[in-house]
Amino acid sequence: MKYMGSKARFTKEILSIVLKNRKTDQWYVEPFAGGMNVVCEVQGKRIANDIHFYLIAMWRELVDGWTPKKYTRAEHKQIRENKDKYPPHEVGWVGFNCSYSGTWFGGFAGETKTKIGTIRDYQTEAIKNVLKQVPKLQGVVFQNKPYYELELPTNSIVYCDPPYKGTTKYAHDFDHDLFWDWVRGIHKEGHTVFVSEYNAPDDFVCVWQKEAKSSLSANGKIGGNKTSVEKLFVCNSETKEGVEE
């Protein structure tokens, strides 16, 4: 699914590190699962959480067999302005998958003529892409909670892809200091925790990094299409094996 800040481009590389020492029946948990682009490539026991109510409602309904349709610009506007009058899963679908670049009720995404004269149908692409994910999400336990309220199974592997500090995504309502303290806490409880970010506090080490183009604000600079360095961090008592220069 197209989703702001998605790690779809890096899933294989990230999971090769995150799952390297996973034990049989060990739970894999994502507190910020979003577009499900990483968790859908993981097997076994999985928890996918996100604080966005409509997003999780959408995923639950999709996994239960619901098939979305295409929506008009007028329907997009109507649902955006009257969310309480529509089923939550439908609001979630229209809000993300019928909006430009997967931004929550951003500009309407429909059929558009490209620079070379062809027609691109964004909603049909979204339906096709998401329905490819759905079979891979069978058996996932979906949660809709703040990350710090999650009840983690003993000795879980926890992969966090939180809102990045210094970017426009949730820039004004995400407490990064609280988040890092939470990571330290669950690490002390025995969980193996990995965090995707551009930067981390000094008591964390980078175990993987890769340069990438990003349309999000990158490395603390707001706006534009910049080159950023995606990184994966662990608490400094974790292994450094797998660092990519």
Token pair for 190: 């025995």
Percent of the chain residues past pLDDT 70, beyond the cut: 87
Length of the chain: 245
Averaged pLDDT for residues 17-44: 97
Q: What is the rounded CA–CA span in Å between residue 28 and residue 210? A: 23
Is the confidence at residue 208, as pLDDT, over 50?
A: yes
pLDDT at 6 (0 to 100): 64
Higher pLDDT, 228 or 126: 126
Q: What is the pLDDT of residues 76-99, one digit of tens each?
A: 999 999 999 999 999 999 999 999
Cα(112)–Cα(98) distance, rounded to whole angstroms? 13
Question: Which pLDDT band holds residue 216 (cuts at 50, 70, 90)?
Answer: low
Rounded Cα gap, residues 15 and 19, in angstroms:
5
Higher per-residue pLDDT: 221 or 233: 233
Q: What integer pLDDT is reported at residue 76 of this predicted model? A: 98
Residue 232 confidence (pLDDT): 97
> Tokens at residue 29, please?
């948990």
SS3 9: helix
Mean pLDDT computed over 114-129: 91
Q: In which band, very low, low, confident or very high, does the pLDDT at 116 lie, cut at 50, 70 and 90?
A: confident
Query: How much is the mean pLDDT over the chain?
Result: 89
**Whether the predicted pLDDT of 140 surpasses 50:** yes
The C-alpha R_g of the chain, in whole angstroms, comes to 18
Of all helices (H) and strands (E), which one includes residue 63?
helix 53-63
Residue 242 has what pLDDT? 41
Q: How confident is the model at residue 238 (pLDDT cuts 50, 70, 90)?
A: low
Nearest to 55 by CA among 130, 150, 157: 130
Instruction: Report the pLDDT value the prediction gives residue 190, as an integer from 0 to 100.
Output: 97
Query: Which residue ranges form the domains of the chain, and what is each CATH number?
Result: 8-51+145-235 (3.40.50.150), 63-135 (no CATH)
Each residue's pLDDT tens digit, 166-185: 765 544 589 999 999 999 99
User: Residue 39 has what DSSP assignment?
Assistant: G
The answer to whether 96 touches 123, Cβ cutoff 8 Å, is no
Confidence of residue 64 (pLDDT cuts 50, 70, 90): very high
Token pair recorded at residue 125 = 């692409």
DSSP, res 224: S
Give residue 57's pLDDT.
Answer: 98
- Assign 225 a pLDDT band (cuts: 50, 70, 90): low
> Using the 8-state DSSP alphabet, how is residue 221 labeled?
B
Question: What pLDDT does 8 receive?
Answer: 76
pLDDT (average), residues 47-72: 98
